[in-house]
A and B are shown apart, each in its own frame.
Chain A
Amino acid sequence: MSQQEIDQLVDQDYKYGFVTDIESDTLPPGLNEDVIREISTRKCEPKWLLEWRLEAYAKWLEMTPPEWAHLDYPPINFQAISYFSAPKKQGDGPKSLDEVDPALIETYNKLGIPLEEQKMLAGVAVDAVFDSVSVVTTFKEKLHEAGVVFCPLSEAVHSHPELVRKFLGSVVPQNDNYYGALNSAVFSDGSFVYIPKGVRCPMELSTYFRINQQNTGQFERTLIVAEEGSYVSYLEGCTAPQRDENQLHAAVVELVAETDAEIKYSTVQNWFAGDDEGKGGIYNFVTKRGECRGDRAKISWTQLETGSAITWKYPSCVLKGADSVGEFYSVAVAGKKQQADTGTKMVHIGPRTRSTIISKGISTARGQNAYRGLVKVLPGAVDARNFTQCDSLLIGDQCGAHTFPYVEAQEPSAQLEHEATTSKVSDDQLFYLRTRGMSEEDALNMVVNGFCKEVFQKLPMEFAVEAEALLGITLEGAIG
């Protein structure tokens, strides 16, 4: 396939590029203590949380942006960003879908998230985050029966202050990293999930994120706590409308898994990637970390990253409990002029802790895809094991794939395995499939989906279908 053909196929406009016209309540750009106080006031937060934010802000001021990533972008002007935006409320907020702004419902429909249908058909509870404030929460009652708390974090601050106070920042401390600190200072909203001891969450929990305000940074913050012997599967998916200016997104996700608890966290990320020159795309700086605090706890991260102009994201596991398990399954696509620097950190602390890393990077057009992973085994993590597999797939000849594996093993009994491959979608493969009657595009999709299969298999069924479809849409813009 010629470069020209590839370029042609890469040239496809973002399919979810539309903007919903909803009145919003947005703070002017800029960041200082007053802005943080204003955010906290608008959200009617308790004093301790305001202080926590201010502490984080003070720490952030002393930090500098990380420069070690394989990413190239101009410095971000943090004073040019607005740090709060909320859809206008009607009274005390909607009690049912009927009370929700019809334009919002329309947006969901365009995104293919018919809430009512989802309620009935999929059995998935959706806590939809629209810009910064959660406006619709469904299935609360059923979850309530099971004792599961699933609500916007801003609501949990009031309804379960002791839990939020106990766990917030306990996995990702305020000064963990530059973007994490920024998030701690200005976080808008996100999900709060609490699964009590011994409870298996009766349904997949799902949140759809969507950036909608021009020039509005998104600072989602999600906290999931799984008590002893509990289980939860959480799905995060997002699409975003087309924009002219870069948008900063700095989310933090914290997971806590106690003894014998399991958390499965799946993400399909499709933020706007920018135009062919990378203009207008989302800058996505995300801190995601889970702690297996108890013995035999398990945390799995599964992600499909297709969007954003810049992706900086390393969902990690801290394996404290003996025999605890961390997993990372990732497909990252970098096309157009996208840059992705993503991977994971597995920190083995407890004895016999195990981790698995399967990373699939796909690069097309002028995309640059880097896997960056750290496997750290501390003294005392006897018989810890890690298996890492990093595969890169190149489509076309102007893209790049890079692998940066770091290993710090301080425990002699640890066993670490690393495999890495780089391959190109070969003309032979495409020709073979075309002689079987498949169009060039379908042939490419088939090859790429095969490449990603190990990861997609880890996604919940309905999400896997969506992931394949999304990958298809992305690659229509990526080759043939």
Chain B
Amino acid sequence: MLSIRNLHARVSDKPILKGINLEIGTGEIHAIMGPNGSGKSTLSSVLAGRDDYEVTDGEVIYMGQNLLDLEPEERAWAGVFLSFQYPVEIPGVKNIYLLKAAVNAIREHRELPELKAGDFLKLVREKLKVMQMDESFLHRNVNEGFSGGEKKRNEILQMQLLEPTLALLDETDSGLDVDALRIVGEGINRMRSPECSVLLITHYQRLLDIVKPDFVHVLAHGEIKLSGDHTLAERLEREGYEGIEAA
């Protein structure tokens, strides 16, 4: 479904990704772990289309098309979703307004009719419940004054509404307390289906205890150094990245 081949990317002349190869099959959950500065966030940003990064080599084939040729919004229409490590504040814009605009923008490109206000509200209430979010969330400005945990829950709420086929989750577990981690983790588990693949970027084992990945990859110095099943994450937790890299 997603095929990353020899992907090289740099930011202002500094190479960050140095030949990533990764195959993600339909419905699979892949976790990417690795030390700070290894290129994890760069990978998700490049896949989502942030133009601060220059791709210098390689290709990314997603459902038969070269993802790198598409604008960020076109990737979203094609089913790619990025959960931000640092969700962005949009002052003055109500959350519900963004959610509705996003859902309908994506529906439009999937040739689905626009959701009417009533139907949309019904849908969003259902998802709020799953994320254990209060309805007042809808009427607050996008991410403005949200706590770290609220921001992340809001990201997963968006993901559930947009129903992506490829979810890129960039450190969605960072800054979460135990309860929020469980809610977010369960939210991700709900996305688990034959239609949706997930790329989970994380530092810690703890999210992977809730969301069991099919594959775990260790990214260091811009390359995938090691791949394995979920037991690799446990090993990392015990031995640390240094231990793994030395091995």
Q: Spell out A's residues near B (CB within 8 Å).
A: 426-429, 431-440, 442, 446-447, 449-454
Contacts and interface: CB of A to CB of B under 8 A. Distances in A.
B92 A452 contact: yes
Given A427-B52, A450-B141, A434 B76 contact: yes
Contacts of B49: 431, 434-435
A250 to B, nearest CB: 34
B76 A437 contact: yes
Nearest to B45: A431
A306 to B, nearest CB: 18
B102 A436 contact: yes
11 contacts: A432-B84, A434-B73, A435-B49, A435-B73, A435-B80, A436-B76, A437-B102, A450-B90, A450-B141, A450-B142, A452-B92
A442 to B, nearest CB: 7
B93 A435 contact: no
B105 A437 contact: yes
B88 interface: yes
B158 interface: yes
A437 B93 contact: no
> What 9 pairs across the A-B complex have the smallest Cβ distances?
A450-B92, A450-B93, A437-B105, A436-B102, A434-B72, A453-B92, A437-B76, A432-B88, A437-B106
Given A427-B52, A438-B73, A432 B87 contact: yes
User: How large, as a class, is the contact surface on chain B?
Assistant: 20 to 34
A426 B91 CA distance: 12
Most chain-A CB neighbours within 10 Å: which of B52, B89, B92, B98? B92
A378 B176 CA distance: 54
A123 to B, nearest CB: 24
A360 to B, nearest CB: 10
Given A427-B52, A432-B84, A439 B73 contact: yes
Nearest to B158: A436
B92 A431 contact: no
Contact of A449 (B92, B102, B142): B92
B82 interface: yes
Contacts of B73: 434-435, 437-440
A447 B90 contact: yes
Nearest to A436: B102
A185 B109 CA distance: 59
A442 B75 contact: no
A432 B90 contact: yes
A427 B49 CA distance: 12
Contacts of A434: 49, 71-73, 76
A449 B94 CA distance: 11
A435 B87 CA distance: 12
A449 B142 CA distance: 13
Contacts, number: 79
Given A431-B50, A453-B92, 15 more contacts: A426-B88, A431-B51, A431-B88, A433-B98, A434-B73, A435-B80, A435-B82, A436-B98, A436-B105, A437-B76, A437-B77, A437-B106, A442-B101, A446-B93, A446-B98
Given A431-B72, A432-B84, A438 B102 contact: yes
Contacts of A442: 101, 105
The secondary structure that dominates the A interface is: helix
A447 B101 contact: no
Contact of B101 (A426, A427, A438, A452): A438
Contacts of A435: 48-49, 72-73, 75-76, 80-82
A446 B109 CA distance: 19
B162 interface: yes
Contacts of A449: 92-93
A222 B106 CA distance: 48
Contact of A437 (B87, B91, B109, B142): B109
A453 B105 CA distance: 22
Interface in B60-105: 71-73, 75-77, 80-82, 84, 87-93, 97-98, 101-102, 105
A433 B105 CA distance: 11
Nearest to A434: B72
Contacts of A453: 92-93
A435 B75 CA distance: 7
Given A435-B76, A446-B93, A429 B88 contact: yes
Contacts of B109: 437
A211 to B, nearest CB: 32
Contacts of A437: 73, 76-77, 102, 105-106, 109, 162
Nearest to A432: B88
Contacts of B106: 436-437
Nearest to B103: A437
A434 B93 CA distance: 15
A1 to B, nearest CB: 8
Nearest to B106: A437
Nearest to B89: A429
A433 B50 CA distance: 12
B54 to A, nearest CB: 13
B101 A429 contact: no
Most chain-B CB neighbours within 10 Å: which of A429, A434, A442, A452? A434
A162 to B, nearest CB: 47
A453 B48 CA distance: 29
Contacts of B72: 431, 434-435
Given A434-B71, A434-B76, A436-B76, A451 B91 contact: yes
